[in-house]
Amino acid sequence: MVGISYQKVFQEGIDKANQKAKTDPKIKSALEKYDGRTFVFNVTNDAVYVFKISRDEVKLEVSSPSYPDDMYLEMNKKRADKLVHHRQVSKVDVIFGNIKFRNISLEDVNFFKEIL
């Protein structure tokens, strides 16, 4: 792995979401819905971020690219910067295959935007 550019940002978001889940029924309901799922975010030239979801919390691991995936998203660091820091994704990048994904829907993306 070259780096772990987003670990701190993701962990802070997860910590806040896990804390809110104790009192916010919307977040608690979302965690229950995704219980047992994993979301793999592979930032090429950086690291593979693995979000493990349970009914009680989300945990983050930084992993090797061989991690078995459930919901999967892959993009380079430049595109990841736009997503993480500006909440922007280019449809053109998706169309031209610069952003790769498997087993993930818009509803799933909205869940992650909510907790992060």
32 assigned to some structural domain: yes
Residue 39 in domain: yes
Give the whole-angstrom CA distance, residue 42 versus residue 97: 14
CATH of the domain at 61: 3.30.1050.10
Q: Is 14 a member of any domain?
A: yes
Q: Render pLDDT for 65-84 as a digit per residue (tens, 0 to 9).
A: 565 667 888 888 888 888 88
Better-scored residue on pLDDT, 107 or 81: 81
Which pLDDT score, from 0 to 100, does residue 95 have? Answer: 80
- 26-48 confidence digits (pLDDT tens): 999 989 999 999 998 888 878 88
Q: What are phi and psi of 69, to 5 degrees?
A: -105, 155
Query: What's the total number of domains in the chain?
Result: 1
Distance CA 67, CA 40 (A): 8
In a domain, 2, yes or no: no
- Check the CA dihedral 8-62-60-81 and report its sign: positive
45 or 7: which carries more pLDDT confidence? 7
pLDDT of res. 115: 67
Is residue 1 in some structural domain?
no
Please give the residue range of the domain that contains residue 71. Answer: 7-115
Q: 87 in a domain, yes or no?
A: yes
pTM of the model: 0.66
How many C-beta neighbours within 10 Å does residue 51 have?
21
